[in-house]
Structure 1
Amino acid sequence: MQPITTALCSFGMSGLVFHAPFIAANPKFSLYGVLERTKNLAQEKYPLVKTFRSLEDLLSDDAIELVVVNTPNITHYEFAKKTILAGKNLIVEKPFTATVAEAEELIALAKQKKVTIAVYHNRRYDSDFLSLKKVLDSGVLGTIVEAEFHYDRYKPELSKKVHKEVPTGAVGSLYDLGSHLIDQALQLFGTPDAVFADIAAFRPNSQVGDYFDLKLFYPAHRVILKSSYFVREPLPENILHGTKGSFIKTKADVQEQDLQAGKTPNATHWGIEPDADKGILHTEKNGIVIKEKITSLKGDYMLYYDAIYDAIRTDKTVPVSAEEGMEVIRVIEAALQSNLEKRVVPLSSN
């Protein structure tokens, strides 16, 4: 097995929590380098890692096979384009780009340069999403009538990261948190026919959206996606209603909190939720109404990196394609248009 020599484009929360631990713990990868313009935080945690002071220096290193573009949202397009032109395989953090036009250009360029490109929608590997999908696929709820997904927080203060509060492209909770919910909705139900959105900024002095309420219109059901920074006591974050019954599940995946606490992905009981967070299934089976708790599936972001290895080394399908990442941006653009024009916006996919 030849490990994939990998470099990160930053070492903030994304690099420290969501990427470096999985690359370092997976024998299929080698954490080779990190771009840090002034600090050496990566070397402090991973002494063998090489620190680069510029993207150009990183991309000129022939040893690097895979680059993770995990920089601020507005820079994804620029960093990804330079990475592709350098002939490197790449993972682009969500949201893929600020616009569909940027995504289309990167996809075409990656094909031209024959490099592997994927988007990091890791929440597909959350325990709650995997459990929700299993219930949905089982058909036990009958025909779905309505689904509602939340990504709420209580965080009324502005972010200390200035770039997150400047009203530029790809900034705001719709891009940051909404991209997770939209990707999951698309995975479960496909592309909606139309979108209606209400987007607002409720934090004092906020210049970017920190609240959204999206309704996705499908031929036979509706999907509601919501997020607010003023939810101290959250409602269930995952709700499915069908013609036979309902499934309700909290957002209880433990991976992020364990990573922030310094645990590694190879820890015992990784990705296993507490029993208290089991979902509630209330439906009808064989003419009998039942209400029971459902044990959640194990969450595991490492599955994403395993699939990336297979895509690069054996030419298998990437875990999240650039085209799928682009469809998330297409819904976001429709939502922004809907909010601006106060109307339902039809959604067309190329």
Structure 2
Amino acid sequence: MKTKTISVGLVGFGMAGRTFHAPLIQAAPSLELAAVVSGDPERVQVDHPGVEVLPKAAQLFARRDIDLVVIATPNETHFPLAKAALNAGKHVVIDKPFSITVSEARLLKAQADLVERLLSVFHNRRWDSDFLTLKALIDAGTLGRVVALESRFDRFRPRVTDRWRERHQPGGGIWYDLGPHLLDQVHELFGMPRSILLELATAREGAEVDDDFLALLEYDHLRVTLQASSLVAEPTPRFRVHGTRGSFVKYGLDPQEGWLKAGQQPMPGWGVDAWPGTLTLEEGGGDEEETRESVALVSREAPVVPGDYTAYYSGIAEALLKGTSPPVTSESALDVMTLLETGLDSYRQGRWVKLKEGDSKVRRLQSH
């Protein structure tokens, strides 16, 4: 029996479209990249000869043969393009963030529900090797009850470039660029926090938008710290997590983005991180009569769970063909938008801002 092929149209062939979406769509069983909307057809043809290039998104949305539209364009265009694609009866994937505001994201979700079309957001870092490794450690109770998590995504980019992310416009700046990654990962681990505090900074000469952030998330008996900066040359821990049974520290980024930028295609063994994290755990089981000073600790490499960005589009294909839940639901993506926007409210007001009561996920985890 022949498997149905889902025809995909990609809007945008910048860094996100070219590096992530196009190759991962091509690598997914049952998906076929049929057309790309781009103002630079030669660039598309170099990477994907034979794929049709269209100058306008409206032309793509009008095509009856296109089943799924992927939007990989500047953040402030996500809402109008996704709305138009849904109106045309297409299933839609949006590169993170979902949109610029929570109200826009809610409207898109409501529209997708009304027309019964899939709507998902490309939160690809759920499939980072280091994150999957950390999630496995927490789920197994290896660290005990987690009391502190620090997640950093630092770069050294001292020169401001002329690109939309660096301009003073809706959706620009590092909070909307890297914030969704870190917020989504924490949301996957612990659910919604009770409150958030955000500090933004513009550190580089000539910068128009934020290029540094520090966010604190409040959970029951757990402190979460998220940071990102464009002016950090010295390697910093990607994760530093402490629990009642020990700690996990990981340096270095998941390798998949670097491989995709270098033009590599997903293959067997894809996603294996050559730089495992370090587990520091109490030797034996511990003795309640021991003092802190006498506890014996042992450090070792953490078992690595391979990353797998291909899982996202494989999951999208399965959702469309079999009716399963998409790998990133619109509900969870809307939660991330709520955190993103509430963080901005906190920064503007200069104080902690409460969210609605967080779900029970963190309380279940803390029972380890």
> Under TM normalisation by the shorter chain, which class is it?
over 0.9
Which residue does the alignment assign to 1:147?
149
Partner amino acid for 1:286?
G
Contact 2:27 2:310 in 1 (8 A): no
> Helix, strand or coil for the counterpart of 2:41?
coil
Cα 1:142–1:173 shift into 2, 3 Å: same
**Count of matched residue pairs:** 346
Contact 2:35 2:52 in 1 (8 A): yes
Partner amino acid for 1:258?
W
2:137 matched to 1:135? yes
> Helix, strand or coil for the counterpart of 1:249?
strand
Deviation at 1:349, TM superposition (A): 6.7
- Give the superposed CA RMSD: 1.4
Deviates more, 1:325-334 or 1:68-77: 325-334
Structure 1 stretches of 4+ moved >6 Å = none
Give 2:277's match in structure 1, choosing from 273, 276, 279.
Answer: 279
> Helix, strand or coil for the counterpart of 2:209?
coil
Which residue does the alignment assign to 2:110?
108
Deviations 1:137-165 (A, max 9, x none): 1112111111000010000111331x212
Which residue does the alignment assign to 1:172?
173
Which residue does the alignment assign to 1:190?
191
Task: Percent identity, please.
Answer: 38
> Helix, strand or coil for the counterpart of 2:154?
coil
Partner amino acid for 2:353?
V
Give me the TM-score of the superposition, normalised by structure 1.
0.96
Deviation at 1:38, TM superposition (A): 4.4
Distance 2:262 2:256 in 1: 10
Which residue does the alignment assign to 2:238?
237
Give me the TM-score of the superposition, normalised by structure 2.
0.91
Contact 1:3 1:29 in 2 (8 A): yes
Which residue does the alignment assign to 1:327?
335
> Helix, strand or coil for the counterpart of 2:226?
strand
Distance 2:194 2:29 in 1: 43
Structure 2 unmatched ranges of 5 or more:
287-295, 359-368
Q: Which structure has the larger Rg over C-alpha atoms?
A: 2
Which residue does the alignment assign to 1:58?
60
Structure 1 residues 1-350: aligned runs within 5 Å: 1-161=3-163, 163-266=164-267, 268-274=268-274, 277-284=275-282, 285-287=284-286, 289-348=297-356
Partner amino acid for 1:236?
P
Distance 1:253 1:77 in 2: 29
Contact 1:67 1:89 in 2 (8 A): yes
Deviation at 1:46, TM superposition (A): 1.4
Which residue does the alignment assign to 2:366?
none
> Helix, strand or coil for the counterpart of 2:134?
helix
